[in-house]
Amino acid sequence: MDGKVVDTSKAYEVALENELLVTSSPHIRSGETVQRIMLDVIIALTPAIIGSVYFFGINALKLILISVASSVFFEALIQKMLKKPITIDDLSAVITGILLAFNLPASAPWWLPIMGSAFAIIVVKQLFGGLGSNFMNPALAGRAMLLTSWPAHMSTFTGTRPDVVATATPLAIMKYGMSPDGAASATASATTSATIEAVTSATSAQGAELPELIDMFIGNIPGAIGETSALLLLIGAAYLIIRKVIDWKIPVFYIATTFVCLVLFGVESEFLPYHILGGGLILGAFYMATDYASSPVTPIGRIVFAIGAGFLTALIRVKGGYPEGVSYSILLMNVATPLIEKFTKPRVFGGAK
């Protein structure tokens, strides 16, 4: 209170007039709020947002804004239709919007993020109970849906230089561009819509050369608009770890496992840095795999989850049909999360071993 002094010598009367609040302890709460946590994530994503506009131009900004606006709109809409309280003020839809846009190529048409966010927010998030109850990361599920439905739009990557129209991501170059018949073998199996992505990537990967590592680190490479700059993503991630918004164990175990598995699968050491810095691994490990609702809450469970995602990412990249693999790995682990939690229940202090 603003130092207002109730003039009373008889404390008793004041208390009588005034109903005392009786509740169970504790009687104080920390300053932590859901909004603050979400705001922190948005702050952490800001360097990468600015970077995406710098590297990919104004179209990147347009996609991000459309994606955020439609995510928030769909959240309000579906909550209104389901007659639930409207919770767009918790800012979580904003994050879903940003992350979804981050997964799009800069050349994506304006309606692509609208489709993606409608699916992410309405189906994946709200129909499963809203924030905290979604069992999959909405942004990633949205991306997967877009990739299945519009594979060509999702995998035509523009470079960071305006004169280059279509380029391959470094991982696509490694996967297809290095083998003499890369495109041919990918084309041969292009029977489903999903493999069009592989074909598109593979065609543009023909004869392309890997970028300089420093460009990859900074983000000056072709790719989805928000995933290319390891540097800017890591700056935001450091902020989230310091603010204790995310648990460092998930990204660290994830990336380390990917690395180890790639080595075990025989990937040559000169390609390893490209694998770590490319293909949305940094974005996925720090910002997607750490999604609260779709990853385990138990400490050991988080490590198991991260190791599983790391292994799957390496497996998909080396043996699978896609060059990247991060989103499917995380989505698969999302599905496994309830099971992981069940088997990693912490042992109660002083409890039986």
Q: Is 214 in the site for other proteins (CB under 8 A)?
A: no
Q: Which residue has the tokens 């799009």?
A: 104
- Dihedral (CA of 189, 159, 258, 254) sign: negative
By beta-carbon proximity to other proteins, the closer residue of 140 and 316 is 140
Q: Is 28 in the site for other proteins (CB under 8 A)?
A: yes
| Residue from the set 58, 162, 214, 348 that interacts with other proteins by CB under 8 A | 348
By beta-carbon proximity to other proteins, the closer residue of 222 and 236 is 236
What x-and-dash track marks residues 48-87 binding other proteins by CB under 8 A? ---------------------------------------x
Q: Which of 21-29, 210-218, 255-263, 271-279 is the region at the interface with other proteins (rule: CB under 8 A)?
A: 21-29
| Residue from the set 147, 298, 326, 338 that interacts with other proteins by CB under 8 A | 298
Closest CA to 286 of 48, 33, 36, 122: 48
By CB under 8 A, the residues from 87 to 146 that bind other proteins are 87, 90, 92, 130-133
Phi, psi dihedral angles at 142 (to 5 degrees): -60, -45
| Size of the residue set binding other proteins (CB under 8 A) | 51
What x-and-dash track marks residues 235-264 binding other proteins by CB under 8 A? ------------x-----------------
Report how far residue 135's alpha carbon sits from residue 327's, in angstroms, rounded to the nearest whole number.
14
Residues 6 or more apart whose CB falls under 8 angstroms from that of 52 comprise 60, 61, 64, 102, 106, 225, 226, 228, 229
Q: Is 353 in the site for other proteins (CB under 8 A)?
A: no
Report how far residue 144's alpha carbon sits from residue 330's, in angstroms, rounded to the nearest whole number.
11
Helices 299-319 and 326-343, axial angle in degrees (round to 10): 150
Closest CA to 87 of 123, 121, 135, 137: 121
Q: Contact residues for other proteins (CB under 8 A)?
A: 1, 3-6, 8-12, 14-15, 18, 20-30, 32-34, 36-37, 87, 90, 92, 130-133, 247, 292-293, 297-299, 302, 345-352
